[in-house]
Amino acid sequence: METTSIQDYLKTIFDLTRDGETASTTALATRLGIAPASVTGMVQKLAAAEPPLVHYRKHQGVTLTAGGEQAALRVIRRHRLLETYLVTTLGYAWDNVHEEACRLEHVISEEFEAKIAAALGNPERDPHGDPIPDADLRLPTDPSTPLSALRPGQGATVLMVRSDDPAFLRHVEEIGLLPGVELHIKNYSHFDQNLEVEIDSQPARVIGLAISCRIFVSVH
């Protein structure tokens, strides 16, 4: 049975292995807010499941099997559709939808998923700009660059903001770095890795690495 807990593991493993690396026990434990020993136990269970949901060798971290990835993508699709629905249709604030979506994603039916997808016109991105897997769980690979990689003279469009923290999201909103917004890099200090960024033709602002590494853009 694919429990809420299992779905949370799969979703997190998907996220941690996006870069091609394996997901370590500690990284999973931190992200899930669970003791490392508990993660080992669950990971062994996922690897022993029939069909197996993860590849696992002791001390080597885990990756998703094809089946595990499908299951993860299903949950991710639901999560992102829910976030979109909450903002677009129910009038939630964008900084506030993550928690609600995290609870709903485990209980909605296939019908519910289809109904909200249709109501939204099969959106391709959620309010934070994350791509939404389509009904066949295909996830568009988009060539996005972290804002932190840009240098003076470059222009770009904000694609997504990678954070679930309401306070962080509110701050980003206040700065105006929302998906779709145009920006230009005015200056860069390689000592403190601050960027001076002109956002939406407003006066330039200084953006620290803690923010710029969580904003993904498409370079012009």
Contact 151, 115 (CB under 8 A): no
Q: Does 142 sit near a copy of itself (CB under 8 A)?
A: no
Nearer to a copy of itself, 89 or 122 (CB): 89
Q: Does 75 sit near a copy of itself (CB under 8 A)?
A: no
Q: Which of 183, 186, 187, 175 is nearest to 155 (CA)?
A: 183
Of positions 25, 45, 100, 166, contacts a copy of itself by CB under 8 A: 100
What is the spatial distance between Cα 146 and Cα 22, in angstroms, rounded to a whole number? 21
- What residues make contact with DNA under the rule CB under 7 A? 1, 3-6, 8, 24-27, 32-45, 56, 58-61
Residue 34 contacts which entry, a copy of itself, DNA, none (Cβ below 5-8 A, type-dependent) = DNA
Residue 123 Cβ vs a copy of itself, minimum distance, rounded to whole Å: 16
Residues whose CB falls within 8 Å of the CB of residue 140, separated by 6 or more in sequence, listed in order = 124, 131
Binding site for a copy of itself (CB under 8 A): 86, 89-92, 96, 99-100, 103-104, 106-109, 111-112, 115-116, 119
